[in-house]
Amino acid sequence: MERFESEVDITRLECFAQQLRRDTVEMIYHAGSGHVGGALGLAEFIGALYGYAMNFDPEDPDRDRIVLSNGHTCAIWYAALARSGLIPLEELATFRKLGSRLQGHPSRCAMPKLVETSTGPLGQGFSVANGIALSLRLRKSPARVYCVLGDGELQEGQVWEAFMTAGHYRLSSMCVFINNNRLQIDGKVEDVMNMKNLNDRLSSFGWNVIEIDGNDMRQVVDALKKAAECTTEPTVIIGNTLMGKGVPFMENLAKWHGTTPSLEQTLTALKDIGINDEYADCSVLIPQ
């Protein structure tokens, strides 16, 4: 697919993001475990990547790369892989099951053509993404590298070494998205380890900083375009999102970082998320 086509159908992308939310809730309910809150907040960004911005052809050496450094949010990424035809749709039913490729954190051993690096230990994926960007530069590839971080993940020291490295080498092909929902497993990020003045901190490391409403599809698309147009330094998009976005009873509550919804809660969530004509009758996992 062409990167950054001149026309973009925002409504179509919003519907795509909503379907990714629906898949995520169903997958986690049927698995009996998973991290639903942060994943739901990423729907617009992941939807914009796979529905608009990325060349994700696994056979293309110049494909764009994505590293989910906060690997626990992988349910929504798996949904995007399925809805983009990269894995069978029915495989989503195997999420977190014994022997499945779709484990609770992305595994390169399980999917070497789709997972650039296994992630789970927070902070490490970002450093690998830098290495990928450096190698692509050496062979003069036009590929871009997208790395997703959680805001709680910024408390890892290795993250700041990675910010410093990318800034030093001016890795303009690198685009980091911070899922800035201000919550983590222990509560509010500001109470655990405050990340005040984030824009200034990141700018001081030599990054092009863009701050947006990360749940507004138009703003996400515009930010991705601006990131691609910046050829002198790496770009970080601070996406202010809501944990549990799209499901009112989950929104902005730290308890939904890793809580599995009950059947009743799942049905309520699916009703809140809704369905549209394009994806009618395309539910992968109707709760039993």
Task: Walk along the chain (288 residues) and give the pLDDT tens digit of each residue.
Answer: 456 665 899 999 999 999 999 999 999 999 999 999 999 999 999 999 999 999 999 999 999 999 999 999 999 999 999 999 999 999 999 999 999 999 999 999 999 999 999 998 898 999 999 999 999 999 999 999 999 999 999 999 999 999 999 999 999 999 999 999 998 888 898 888 888 899 999 999 999 999 999 999 999 999 999 999 999 999 999 999 999 999 999 999 999 999 999 999 999 999 999 976 565 555 655 443
Give the DSSP letter of residue 105: S
Per-residue confidence (pLDDT) for residue 7, from 0 to 100: 81
Per domain, the residue ranges of the chain are: 10-279
Nearest to 286 by CA among 60, 61, 3, 26: 26
Dihedral sign (CA 118, 25, 276, 45): negative
Contact, 247 vs 269, CB < 8 A?
A: yes
Query: Pick from 109, 79, 108: which is nearest to 92 by CA?
Result: 79
Between vectors from CA 123 to CA 120 and to CA 129, what angle results, nearest 5°? Answer: 95
Is 10-279 assigned to CATH 3.40.50.970? yes
Per-residue model confidence (pLDDT) at position 286: 44
Q: Do residues 234 and 171 touch, judged by C-beta distance below 8 A?
A: yes
90's tokens = 């029915």
Q: How long, in residues, is the chain?
A: 288
Tokens of 146: 């997208």
Token output for 114: 């789709």
- Are 10 and 47 in contact by the 8 Å Cβ rule? The answer is no
Q: What is the pTM of this model?
A: 0.94
Beta strands in the chain (DSSP E): 65-68, 145-150, 174-180, 183-184, 187-188, 208-213, 235-240
Q: Rounded distance, CA 8 to CA 173, Å? A: 22
Cα–Cα dist 52/253, whole Å: 30
Crossing angle of helices 263-273 and 10-31, in 10° steps, is: 180
Cβ pair 205, 277 in contact under 8 A: no
Residue that the structure tokens 């190698």 belong to: 135
